[in-house]
Structure 1
Amino acid sequence: MTQDNLDYVTRAFTNVGFPPQVRDLLSAGMEKGLPTIIAGGNRHYDAATHEVMRIEGRADQGEQNTERYFPKGYQATLKSDTMEEARTQFIHIYDQKGFHVDQTRNLLSGKWVFAIEKDRGEEKRNFTRLNFDEKVASGNYKRINVKEDDYPLFKLLNKVSFVDPTEADLKDMLKSLFKGDTVSAKARLEGNIHTVQVDMRPDKGELLVYTPDNKISRTYSMGDKIRFELDQLPDQNIKQFNDKQQGINQSMNAGDAERTKKVLEGPKPKPGTKNQPKPRV
């Protein structure tokens, strides 16, 4: 294997979360012509949930030609105290796209993630989740998919009364939700500002917003009408509301003045008439 080929494979695995040290592991196995499994190169542990996830790069799943060796994917296993058994899923790599390690952990935890993948040359953009009660022939868990067009996440985020959100804030929320993370933010619920958490529900077409203690929650869907009460609007929106209302009042006042002028002047005489109407006093 040439240095260029080794660099190519290293980049492929680094793109799915493997550390740079993967070069040595790849080199040791591939230089000997052996099917290589990269085990323990990426081990995640969460002290709060006692979750352990191990990532194994399956170099023997690749396609080889005279120029380079490209791995097709990696295998991820997640185990925690709350699971009856470990969950394992083989994750394919499609043209350097597909799931990254941070997405894979959320996927194996049962969360929704967003993925761009290639299927027979066609690019597919789906929100996806694993069905842990059913497996397919390959041994992977069956996936539940919702097309991106069927779940307009950005529009749903715009329905939530976040406190002074910027466009950059909304984009950051979008990226985190795409990975399957629960987003924390400040929003107005029931007339008060709360620290809330936001989760996706693509299968129901909803966005769930709730306080950490679950005492207050609300679901947003595309069928919702946006109705604001004045005391629920952020300060900048209150100013916009007042400015708009002032403009309406000025327009109405101008209209009233014009109508009053016409009444005081009286009706205009018709052409050719001798008697001119007197103005009303």
Structure 2
Amino acid sequence: MKTILITGASSGIGEATARHFQARGWNVIATMRAPSEDSTLADLDNVLVTRLDVTDAASIPVAVAAGIEKFGKIDVLLNNAGYGAYGALEAFTMERIRRQFDTNVVGLLEVTKAVLPHMRQNRSGTVINISSIGGQITFPLGTLYHGTKFAVEGLSEALHYELEPLGIRVRIVEPGMIKTNFGGRSFDFAMDEGLSDYAPTAEAMGRLFGKLASNPSAPETVAEVIWEAAHEDGDRLRFRAGEDAARLLEDRKSQDDGTFIGGIKKLMSG
């Protein structure tokens, strides 16, 4: 029986993936910042719910060790924990800027580093990193979020080269708009009333997101794509999740910068 370790498993994509893999006979190490708040995953067979906060370095090796002790092996690591910081760059304190990168990038790297010795010893394993359409394209006021997701894309592709000879695969999953709490606790919006120059852009961003999020995919859609990525035996690196992701990423690939960015501006205009 194979085992997957998931970060950010308390809700959304992480929770849906935990249920998807458990229902198909896998062991699941479902990690989250506050396990005491979870009342459902822990009731499932072959699921270990344990604490892991990607911004708390000390919690990471403890969770990895607990998972290995419980199930004997980690076959797949899903780096899912993350959130989106949007707003004018001037409106963010350096503390909030560092928190975005510490969560989405540095935390991902720390968890990966903690699991790699185990996978390297076994000469097998798969690391799946949740990126976003925002790792290939950008939206207004997303300087921080897109910066982190572009970083995830780059580090994942580079990591592929060094891990493949060791029998370890790297996969990138790029969801589009998903029905999750991304707009709630997973969303950090910054705007200063004194920065009125950015107000028109913020209003335009609201219109754009309203159009893009009109028909979001369910988290289970992403879970199915993650399942596919975990079982990919070839050299495929990137997996798109959601019809909007497929459409937008294909447009970005086929169009030059001016054409694609012009299209985004048109959607923003009303």
Higher strand share: 1
TM-score interval, normalised by the smaller of the two chains: under 0.3
Q: TM-score normalised to the size of structure 2?
A: 0.24
Which of 1 and 2 has higher RCO (CA within 8 Å, sep 6+)? 2
Structure with more of its chain in helix, by fraction: 2
- Give the TM-score normalised by the residue count of structure 1: 0.23
Computing the radius of gyration over CA atoms, which structure comes out larger, 1 or 2?
Answer: 1
